[in-house]
Chain A
Amino acid sequence: MSHVDGGPKPPKYWARPVDLEAAALPENAMQEFAQPSDAVALDAADPPSRREFLKLLGAGAAFAAAGCARKPVEKILPYVHAPEELVPGVPVYYASTCGDCPAGCGVLVKTREGRPIKLEGNKAHPLNKGALCPRGQASLLNLYDPDRLQGPLLYGRGKGSNKPATWQAVDQKVTQALGEARGRGKVVLLSGTVTSPTTMALVKQFLASYPNSEHVVYDPVSQDALLKAQELMYGARAVPRYRLDKADLLVTLGADPLGTMISPVEYARDFYGRRRPEMGPMMRVIAIEPISSLTGTNADERLRVRPDHLYPVAMAIAHELLVAKPRGAAAPGGATAVVGTFEAATVERRAGLPFGTIARLADELWAARGKSLVMAGSQAAPAEQAVPLQVAAGLLNSILGNEGVTVDGSHPSRQAAGSEEAVLQLVERMRAGEIGALLVYGVNPAYTLPPALGFAEALARVPFTLSFADRVDETAALADVIAPDAHYLESWNDYEPRAGVRSLGQPAIAPLYDVRQIQDSLIVWSGGAPAGTSGSWHAYLRDRWRNDVYPSANAAAGFDLWWEGVLREGVQVAQGADSNGSARSFRGEAMTSLPPLKTGGDTEGLQLALYTPVTVYDGRFANNAWLQELPDPMSKCTWDNYVAIAPSRAKALGVWEYEMKADVVTVDVGHAKFDLPVHVAPGLHPDVVGIAIGYGRTAAGRVGNGVGQNAYRLAEATAGRIGMSGIPVRLTKTGRVAPLAVVQMHHTTDHRPIVYDATYAEYQRDPRAGIEEPTHLPSMWTPHEYNGYKWGMAVDLTTCIGCSACMVACMVENNVPVVGKSIVLRGREMHWIRIDRYYSGNADDPDFAYQPMLCQQCENAPCETVCPVLATVHSSEGLNIQVYNRCVGTRYCSNNCPYKVRRFNWFEYSNIKEKSLRLALNPDVTVRSRGVMEKCTFCVQRIRDGKEHAKAMGTRVQDGDIVTACQQTCPTDAIIFGDLNDPKSRIAQFAKNGRGYHVLAELNTRPRITYQTKIRNREGGGSA
């Protein structure tokens, strides 16, 4: 690692003046304290790797060790004479980039005494603007995953050794094997989308040294159809930048931009800016989709259509715009001809849409032309329609003049580049024995490719296979050599998720184990330092930035200073990277790719729709307990995937979902079948069967193995595409019942004063529309005064999209334990903040409402009155504080809490067996022992921190100084925290604004959390 090699210690994000002093730590300072801290290290964690870690991080590690082993203070006394640079107890933030998915959001890594304990979005980053998704929040746990490889393996496809080998041995073996491969055939690097330009350059150099070598890019969650369509329409195979912030009307065709599509956080941030009624005209969202996606459940209008009808519907809208009711739109040549066959009436009849729907959609789109946006899902339509659907969507955007406005092709995104065709061909050529060596990086084809392709057999015919996986996953198990890549928090890297937006990834911690990041490996294997570089990958990276990026930045400062500046900021945005796009010219020949409307009847029966869950994504997070226990926003189910079917369909099949268990059905697509419990999902199209991918891992690790079923097996490979939707499927009742660990079993508010909603029109007439709250609540006694700070929170149900990032953030920040499926099944999940999801309206096509529910910090807290030992009382700032040490565990408080937000430690959850996991604990938050009640504290440790900071500055806490973990990560700014006594604070304004109400106000608990009514941008009255 660079700073080991004597490179400069990574400077860090400028958080506080005090942090500035903590510049490079002199070598001797490290040596000086490495010795005393070793003593601690031994019982801190696995000695070899940890001692390495200590040498690297010097004194800081002593704290990390002491911190996780909870050693008495004496142990670290030597530190009293430590250099002033590193202040004990003061977090150090490193700006970096989230590397666990290609979206490449900027993060700030919060480290305490040398170990990363929390990830927060980097405000300076133009994509995620300070927010993170649940997966980004949870990716910290992957760093400490005890199932990671501790060193490289000469695995020999299972015949080799399981003991870590030395890197020398590995390098020898690899260089030799690659040498032999030269003769045998192609050397292929199979990877997921790589957004790092420098890495791509390095890969090019590396492959260049092998004749006819190749880099195949493949994403299981594929945008291939979109890329292909873009290529057809505009000649460039690149994802355009979708600008939801400029859209008045968003129409999705099976796309889930808020959930898992390409860059969810970026989209969500742009989205909310147009959804808060207080902030100008509200964007309207219409979702046309087979299953209820996160976007769909947040849409103002949902139209349920089968996967194979998405394309016809899109075309019918075009037909309406161009032919049925010509509006003189500038249409690409030949368009009118292709759309000809798609009469609205026919399509509506087939798709089962109410008559006139398409005409209405067309009118709405036309009315919003130039300010509307049509997005289509790449895997939502049947394989043969995937590309046409995307072209149709593109056609609509260009007809409506959205091209260049809401669809910006001039700043293309690099977040998706995978090609299904390429990977399918690769498998063929492997089978044909044309491949001499296969290096697999960042993907897991043995698990994600449809078994029908026979990847494993094909791989058997490749003489040499190497995997960069950090564990012996399904693919690595078939590899000769496993050269584990370092976690992104241990790595140097750069990212360019969107043209002109370049961010850096810097190690916040030295590798915990004897692993080496892929780039260093490639450098070594391509015979040491490539031309014009000085050895290490870090140097290579710097050089490339010096030569390629620095000049274009035309910075006044010298390179080193500039470089450090970029490291501090974490991101460097090229001039004009954020400018408006310009319209590209639509190529007429794209029209030829649009098939006419299928004549004759539709295929009968059920259709499969595989979708990407917001939790484990494509399966790469399967071993992440935080995400496994995170309830799916729509189904509220944890630790499992399931067969989602519409209620009417469930009745027809004679299956149902009961409390904590469900009937098991056999899912059969012909080439594959398995059993899975059903989940009755209102909002699904009755002909659709929704199943999440990413489960059923067999080699993910102790957490992820055998959780659910591998739905990739149901996917089919046809005509150079991997089909995930529209596959005909048969469900048969097995008669068995299986447990289903759901955290919410009742789904309507039962007309209780919990969630209020209204339409935009109603809101404009009266901001308090929809709220039925008692105006006068008599009280027996005069309320207490809160003169100093008065902490409060506002939660906006309109912008909250239920993504659940806050839940993970809360778990990370507050050391909330993961309890596992069996305990969740007993109704004992521990989340301090949960997202309640309520259905309203009719059961087949309901409205959705997401409601974050956490401790309301009531001023008249019922929990406090009943606690016999004063373990939960009220602070002078109005916090409902929980004194863990005093709690004897009567559980009376929880019984008396109308919001049921208190969590009890039924067993000893706090003694974490896996030492590496202890490193993820936040030292500022007590770990609760058995028999103690716990709950949300408004991140009291952050409040203290902010107050102390203000005190040091001699000021009062300024608005925004204190940010709770849930608020910090929220992509849609739905959570606002602050001081109600400060009239200028945002919270004060929110608490006052028209939409504010309190849940169960009539109980007169006087909650400190003000909810904002859910506004639906639609005609007529809202349904409560």
Chain B
Amino acid sequence: MTDLVAQGLAEPPLIDPKKTFADVTADVSAPMEKKPGMLWKVFFGLSVLLTLQFFAEIAYQMVKGIGIWGLNHPVGWAVDITSFVFWIGIGHAGTLISAILHLFRQRWRTAINRSAEAMTIFAVMTAGLFPLIHLGRTWFAYWLIPYPNVRFLWVNFRSPLVWDVFAVSTYLTISLCFWYTGLIPDFASIRDRSTGWRRGIYGVLSLGWRGSERHWQHYERAYMMLAGLSTPLVLSVHSIVSFDFATSILPGWHTTIFPPYFVAGAIFSGFAMVVTLLVILRKVFKMEEYVTIHHLENMNKIILVTGMMVGYAYATEFFVAMYSGNPFERFTFLNRAGGPFAWSYWIMVTCNVISPQVFWFKRFRRSLPVMFVISLLVNVGMWFERFTIIVTSLHRDFLPSAWSYYKPTIFDYSVIVGSFGFFFMWFLLFCRFFPTISMAEVKSVLWSAKKTAEGKSKEPMAEETVHA
């Protein structure tokens, strides 16, 4: 067995078989039971500060107007929608890892799905802010929801923005259901090992779960169903986000390959973000034994693949533009690569296409520093991908007379960093108060690991006794 592992023909154990079930519960609950460390406090304080300035910016903007941003006449969207798409993209890996890997019985997911799902939810929450604050009259944002009103006005179901409203809210809701369903048994475990008010709180959170087999098999099926629903949902959400652009007539936006291209990009950036987070998380909360290098390597492989998908999409776009012979298309893409915003285009290409190539080498795939840096680069690259698509297409479209340039203001930067603060604030809270790893699932993995370790010795006994 071990030599097979060495040859890489068999999966190495996802967890050290010597661990007991009790160890798992103890290790995972540990961060929730002791005082937070210095590192956590520093990170949390920082992200709270960023969040505060974020909301200060929003308040000022509500008073003064969108004009405080650098937007201008041709460029009606820039940082706002860029960040929206970016965070929605981040929000994809979570549910994807959980749902798709669950359906494909990829058991290595168990160590990472919980934090990934949490990331999804917080990323979507962050993303959700942007469509709101980018409005000229945010206080009327609820007009995008079809509700009966005295003017008998509904919404325009032909508008991708309305699709967004439905897609994103659905995605958030379903991800929450999925996440919470997964959490119930773990809350129960924590309830049963804690006392006092914590027992009370986790008791309520666990809804009184007792691990009855009759419940377990409803649970298993329901979880499967949610996974089944989430998988197409994940794909649909980012496709719909891409429709914002694909269904318009703007050269550079009006592109049929956007849905797959955006989904690949989303998975790409999502996994990168998970890697970024886990590399820190496993260190800070001593989870190395659960989130092993093997897990991370698997994700790096996915980053490599999706990275190349994205790269392929860039190439296709360019080729189609040139091949189509459409002067507007041609110009737009030449303008991307060589125009005033070429810098952002080449940042995008370097970070998204070139940098992941190092993952061809096992050494780098398994090296924490390398994967950390790469994952950061990928996130930068993916932010600029959206920026490139949005701004370079807008600033020079059909009539040269209307062409212009876009210069961000201090407030644009403020919302960018602010959104990161907001996201990390939630994530750090999650690490403190929720089980960051799905105990129940890890235990099942642990059991099979033990089995594999002990070899076939145990089974026959079990078998015959059953038939006896």
Look across to chain A and name the residue whose beta carbon is closest to the beta carbon of B393: A895
A827 partner residues in chain B, CB cutoff 8 A: 72-75, 404-405
Q: Are A828 and B136 in contact, CB atoms less than 8 angstroms apart?
A: no
Per-residue CB proximity of A356-392 to B under 8 Å, as 1/0?
Answer: 0000000000000000000000000000000000000
Question: Which of B153, B160, B401 sits near A866, CB closer than 8 Å?
Answer: B160
Please tell me if B141 contacts chain A, counting CB pairs below 8 Å. Answer: yes
Q: Are A898 and B137 in contact, CB atoms less than 8 angstroms apart?
A: no
Please tell me if B162 contacts chain A, counting CB pairs below 8 Å. Answer: yes
Complex CA gap A895/B253 in Å reads 10
Stretch at the interface among A273-281, A502-510, A792-800, A883-891: A883-891
A908 partner residues in chain B, CB cutoff 8 A: 65
Q: Are A887 and B154 in contact, CB atoms less than 8 angstroms apart?
A: no
| Min CB–CB distance B398 → chain A (angstroms) | 4
In A852-879, the 8 Å CB interface with B consists of: 853, 862, 864-870
In A831-863, the 8 Å CB interface with B consists of: 834, 836-838, 851, 853, 862
Please tell me if A204 contacts chain B, counting CB pairs below 8 Å. Answer: no
Please tell me if A744 contacts chain B, counting CB pairs below 8 Å. Answer: yes
Please tell me if A907 contacts chain B, counting CB pairs below 8 Å. Answer: yes
Q: Are A931 and B155 in contact, CB atoms less than 8 angstroms apart?
A: no
Look across to chain B and name the residue whose beta carbon is closest to the beta carbon of A894: B76
A903 partner residues in chain B, CB cutoff 8 A: 73
Complex CA gap A868/B75 in Å reads 19
Please tell me if B321 contacts chain A, counting CB pairs below 8 Å. Answer: no
Known contacts: A895-B394, A906-B65. The answer to whether A836 contacts B399 by CB under 8 A is yes
Complex CA gap A714/B327 in Å reads 47
Per-residue CB proximity of B116-156 to A under 8 Å, as 1/0?
Answer: 00000000000000000011110011011000000001111
Q: Are B250 and A896 in contact, CB atoms less than 8 angstroms apart?
A: yes
Question: Which of A659, A900, A904 sits near B136, CB closer than 8 Å?
Answer: A904
Known contacts: A886-B143, A888-B141, A898-B249. The answer to whether A868 contacts B161 by CB under 8 A is yes
Please tell me if A666 contacts chain B, counting CB pairs below 8 Å. Answer: no
Q: What bracket does the count of chain B residues touching chain A fall in? A: 35 or more
| Min CB–CB distance B286 → chain A (angstroms) | 47
Please tell me if A1019 contacts chain B, counting CB pairs below 8 Å. Answer: no
Please tell me if B427 contacts chain A, counting CB pairs below 8 Å. Answer: no
| Min CB–CB distance A890 → chain B (angstroms) | 6
Q: Are A1003 and B249 in contact, CB atoms less than 8 angstroms apart?
A: yes
Q: Are B161 and A866 in contact, CB atoms less than 8 angstroms apart?
A: yes
Look across to chain B and name the residue whose beta carbon is closest to the beta carbon of A905: B136
Q: Are A865 and B158 in contact, CB atoms less than 8 angstroms apart?
A: yes
In A637-682, the 8 Å CB interface with B consists of: 659-660
Please tell me if B66 contacts chain A, counting CB pairs below 8 Å. Answer: yes
B405 partner residues in chain A, CB cutoff 8 A: 659-660, 827
B298 partner residues in chain A, CB cutoff 8 A: none
Q: Are B158 and A892 in contact, CB atoms less than 8 angstroms apart?
A: no
A896 partner residues in chain B, CB cutoff 8 A: 248-250
Q: Most chain-A CB neighbours within 10 Å: which of B64, B73, B328?
A: B73
Q: Are B137 and A932 in contact, CB atoms less than 8 angstroms apart?
A: yes
B162 partner residues in chain A, CB cutoff 8 A: 868
Q: Most chain-A CB neighbours within 10 Å: which of B140, B398, B405?
A: B398
Q: Are A868 and B67 in contact, CB atoms less than 8 angstroms apart?
A: no
Per-residue CB proximity of B388-405 to A under 8 Å, as 1/0?
Answer: 000000101111111111
| Min CB–CB distance A761 → chain B (angstroms) | 28
Stretch at the interface among A15-23, A95-103, A541-549, A750-758: A750-758
Please tell me if B382 contacts chain A, counting CB pairs below 8 Å. Answer: no
Q: Are A869 and B155 in contact, CB atoms less than 8 angstroms apart?
A: yes
Complex CA gap A378/B398 in Å reads 42
Complex CA gap A749/B249 in Å reads 19
A870 partner residues in chain B, CB cutoff 8 A: 153-156
Question: Which of B71, B331, B399 sits near A754, CB closer than 8 Å?
Answer: B399
Please tell me if A746 contacts chain B, counting CB pairs below 8 Å. Answer: yes
Q: Are A889 and B137 in contact, CB atoms less than 8 angstroms apart?
A: yes
Per-residue CB proximity of B60-72 to A under 8 Å, as 1/0?
Answer: 0000111100111
Question: Which of A838, A867, A900 sits near B402, CB closer than 8 Å?
Answer: A900
B244 partner residues in chain A, CB cutoff 8 A: 892
A930 partner residues in chain B, CB cutoff 8 A: 65, 136-137
In B308-331, the 8 Å CB interface with A consists of: 327-328, 331
Complex CA gap A724/B249 in Å reads 51
Complex CA gap A891/B141 in Å reads 13
Look across to chain B and name the residue whose beta carbon is closest to the beta carbon of A899: B399
Q: Are B398 and A898 in contact, CB atoms less than 8 angstroms apart?
A: yes
Complex CA gap A731/B403 in Å reads 30
Known contacts: A748-B400, A886-B153. The answer to whether A828 contacts B73 by CB under 8 A is yes
Q: Are B155 and A828 in contact, CB atoms less than 8 angstroms apart?
A: no
Q: Are B137 and A887 in contact, CB atoms less than 8 angstroms apart?
A: yes
| Min CB–CB distance B402 → chain A (angstroms) | 4
| Min CB–CB distance A869 → chain B (angstroms) | 5
Q: Are B153 and A1000 in contact, CB atoms less than 8 angstroms apart?
A: no
Please tell me if B165 contacts chain A, counting CB pairs below 8 Å. Answer: yes
Please tell me if A348 contacts chain B, counting CB pairs below 8 Å. Answer: no
Q: Are A931 and B136 in contact, CB atoms less than 8 angstroms apart?
A: yes
Please tell me if B444 contacts chain A, counting CB pairs below 8 Å. Answer: no
A999 partner residues in chain B, CB cutoff 8 A: 399
Complex CA gap A625/B214 in Å reads 79
Q: Are B404 and A745 in contact, CB atoms less than 8 angstroms apart?
A: yes
Q: Are A895 and B248 in contact, CB atoms less than 8 angstroms apart?
A: yes
| Min CB–CB distance B142 → chain A (angstroms) | 9
Complex CA gap A904/B71 in Å reads 10
Please tell me if A984 contacts chain B, counting CB pairs below 8 Å. Answer: no
Question: Which of B134, B143, B328, B397 sits near A900, CB closer than 8 Å?
Answer: B397
Look across to chain A and name the residue whose beta carbon is closest to the beta carbon of B395: A827
| Min CB–CB distance A175 → chain B (angstroms) | 55
Please tell me if A826 contacts chain B, counting CB pairs below 8 Å. Answer: yes
B67 partner residues in chain A, CB cutoff 8 A: 823, 828, 906-907
Q: Are B398 and A868 in contact, CB atoms less than 8 angstroms apart?
A: no
B74 partner residues in chain A, CB cutoff 8 A: 827, 900
Complex CA gap A869/B140 in Å reads 10
Q: Are B397 and A888 in contact, CB atoms less than 8 angstroms apart?
A: no
Look across to chain B and name the residue whose beta carbon is closest to the beta carbon of A931: B136
Q: Are B248 and A900 in contact, CB atoms less than 8 angstroms apart?
A: no
Look across to chain B and name the residue whose beta carbon is closest to the beta carbon of A860: B249
A749 partner residues in chain B, CB cutoff 8 A: 400
| Min CB–CB distance A783 → chain B (angstroms) | 16
A888 partner residues in chain B, CB cutoff 8 A: 135-137, 140-141, 143-144
Q: Are B77 and A895 in contact, CB atoms less than 8 angstroms apart?
A: yes
Complex CA gap A744/B403 in Å reads 7
In B226-258, the 8 Å CB interface with A consists of: 244, 247-250
Q: Most chain-A CB neighbours within 10 Å: which of B65, B140, B162?
A: B65
Please tell me if B195 contacts chain A, counting CB pairs below 8 Å. Answer: no
Q: Are B66 and A745 in contact, CB atoms less than 8 angstroms apart?
A: no
Look across to chain A and name the residue whose beta carbon is closest to the beta carbon of B402: A900
Q: Are A747 and B400 in contact, CB atoms less than 8 angstroms apart?
A: yes
A828 partner residues in chain B, CB cutoff 8 A: 67, 72-73
Please tell me if A829 contacts chain B, counting CB pairs below 8 Å. Answer: yes
Complex CA gap A930/B327 in Å reads 37
Q: Are A746 and B400 in contact, CB atoms less than 8 angstroms apart?
A: yes
Complex CA gap A853/B402 in Å reads 10
Complex CA gap A892/B398 in Å reads 16
Complex CA gap A903/B398 in Å reads 17
Look across to chain B and name the residue whose beta carbon is closest to the beta carbon of A750: B400
Question: Which of B156, B328, B404 sits near A659, CB closer than 8 Å?
Answer: B404
Q: 30 A–B contact pairs at CB < 8 A? A: A660-B405, A745-B404, A746-B401, A747-B400, A750-B400, A752-B328, A752-B400, A754-B399, A823-B67, A828-B73, A829-B73, A864-B156, A865-B158, A865-B159, A866-B161, A868-B156, A869-B144, A870-B156, A888-B137, A888-B141, A889-B137, A891-B134, A892-B159, A896-B249, A896-B250, A898-B250, A904-B66, A904-B76, A905-B65, A930-B137
6 A-B pairs with least C-beta separation: A889-B136, A931-B136, A906-B67, A827-B72, A891-B76, A900-B402
- Besides A888-B143, A896-B248, 17 other A-B contacts (C-beta < 8 A): A746-B401, A747-B400, A826-B70, A827-B405, A834-B401, A836-B399, A865-B158, A865-B247, A866-B158, A870-B155, A890-B136, A895-B248, A895-B394, A896-B249, A898-B250, A898-B397, A999-B399
